[in-house]
Amino acid sequence: MATGVAVAVLLAGCVDPVHQTTLPRRDATAPPSSAPGGAERFYGQQVAWEPCAEADECAQVEVPLDWADPAGESVEIAVARVRADDEAVGSILVNPGGPGSSAIDFLASARLIVSPEVRDEYDLVAFDPRGVARSTPVTCLDGPGLDELFGADFDVDTDAGLAEQTDAWAAFGEACAANTGAVLGHIDTVTAARDMDVVRAVVGDQALNYLGYSYGTKLGATYAALFADTVGRVVLDSALDPRLDSDEMSAGQAVGFENALRAYVTDCLDEDGDCPLTGSLDSALGQIRTLLDRARANPLPTTSGRRLTAQLAFTGIAYPLYSQASWPNLTAGLRSGLAGDGTALLALADAYADRDGDGEYVSNTMVAFNAISCLDLTATTDVAQMRADAAEIVAAAPTVGRFFSYTGSLCARWPVPAVGGLDDYTAAGAAPILVLGTTNDPATPFVWAQALADLLESAVLITHVGEGHGVYGLGSACARAAVDDYFLDGTVPAEGTTC
């Protein structure tokens, strides 16, 4: 997931731009040719904007439950808007990632991330994709039920343990179906991208201008592939390759987090007396593996009375790797964890899951993540193949690889069928699209940004040399200037731009 993170950077000079695109225009609500017949009423709807706490104004936008049947049942998605400081030339739709993160909640961060000069010119618009937060949210288990599932250490090395994990996630899916209803089968990314085009129309933009992070790049790339003719100025930051299946994503992220952990440990060992790890890089990584193995065999106590399992310990370790600015939190977590106290690592795991001190999950991000992923992604459910894949992942990522294995069991018995993605993501004919990637991003490895830039016909890649997840507005002055020029003047940076 991409949240508001700070990123340390190595800056290099940006090269001259290639060319410029024309300014976006407003006031065009006619549906594009790629919209299915019967969708006109959604594109032409008049929404009621009202003042709200989350933004300057909020509204509900009606969309079909099933885009294959626009004349059938409909649902509403929540939309919020922050008005430009000057007269707006258009809107920038923002998405923080996930899947499952609330874009409306992200608006408060977006106001800080997006440059003031850009906010002078553009409204910032966000919608919670269906299944998320305020838009017909996925609902599954209560807090204790989620605690049990998200903290479980299943012995997947045995057939019985793998079956137990599969059964637990099947029960989770059944609870989602019972508590969410029919929309559970219509929260996939292709559907969300079609909803985005309705949002574009109802705010009066002829072209979609967009800033998406992490999973938001998949959503943006899907939109571009579906609606190439209405692509405006689109920025896909911390990009992923939309063609990846679940197995490929897990293998890539395992290596990404392993590399990020190695970078953290190298930095930690360079600290004068402050690092709880000792010895060589490999020795220090071995100490982290020992901590994880210890938590699996005998979960660590915490001051809350809950126990820190290996799964929770890994989550607590992984979360600070999203941002180099959070590495001191990881140091504190490891120091107490190695001393036998799991409190600090549990707090990091809870922060990642949006779990408060009262045991409530204050957002549905985690459950929506799984529900959307089960519709979007395929994975092998063959036990022999999962075991072979797990061996390869652990060999490539010996410290954290175990936690990225056997993902096929999570959706093996999902109660609604997978939808998948598109056959073609080239977005032929689209206006220039900016793709941003960080060379040691743990969550969306840089090779994915390279792949997306190669895949999209009109994409230009900006490479950020550094650590962490997220580039624009999060530390790189070079990348910030390039994106600002693109949004303000349509200036497209040259191929090979490095920051």
* DSSP-assigned states of every residue in 312-367: HHHHHHHGGGG-GGGHHHHHHHHHHHHTT--HHHHHHHHHHHTB-TTS-BSS-HHH
Number of C-beta neighbours around residue 134 at 10 A: 19
**Cα dist. 185→37, 97, 141, 419 in Å?**
21, 20, 18, 8
Other Cβ atoms within 10 Å of 32 Cβ, number? 17
The residues facing 94 across adjacent strands are 211
Kindly state whether residue 54 falls inside one of the protein's structural domains: yes
Q: Is 483 among the domain residues?
A: yes
Range of the domain at 214: 12-135+187-242+430-498
494 within domain boundaries: yes
Place of tokens 């220039």: 432
Q: What is the pLDDT of residue 37?
A: 82
Which residues partner with 462 through β-bridges?
A: 436, 497
> Cα–Cα distance between 142 and 361 in angstroms, integer?
9
pTM: 0.94
| Residue 457 domain flag | yes
Does residue 45 lie in a domain region? yes
Whose CA is closest to 290, among 273, 305, 278, 307? 278
Quote the CA–CA distance of 335 and 333 in Å, as a whole number.
5
pLDDT score for 85: 87
Q: For residue 269, count other CB atoms closer than 10 A to its CB.
A: 15
Token duo for residue 423: 């056959």
Provide the pLDDT for residue 44: 93
Residue 214 catalytic?
Answer: yes
Which residue in 279, 277, 311 sits closest to 292, CA to CA? Answer: 311
Q: How many domains does the chain have?
A: 1
Mean pLDDT, consecutive 10-residue segments, the chain of 499 residues? Answer: 30 38 55 79 95 97 97 97 93 97 97 96 98 97 97 97 98 98 98 98 96 98 98 98 97 98 97 91 98 98 97 98 97 98 98 96 97 97 97 98 97 97 98 98 98 98 96 91 97 95
- Single out the catalytic residue among 237, 441, 484, 485: 441
Say which amino acid occupies 33: S
199 domain-assigned: yes
Q: What's 472's domain CATH number?
A: 3.40.50.1820
User: For residue range 277-308, what is the model confidence (pLDDT) as tens digits?
Assistant: 999 999 999 999 999 999 999 999 999 999 99
Active-site residue, from 469, 476, 484, 485? 469
Determine, yes or no, domain membership for 19. Answer: yes
Structural domain includes residue 201: yes
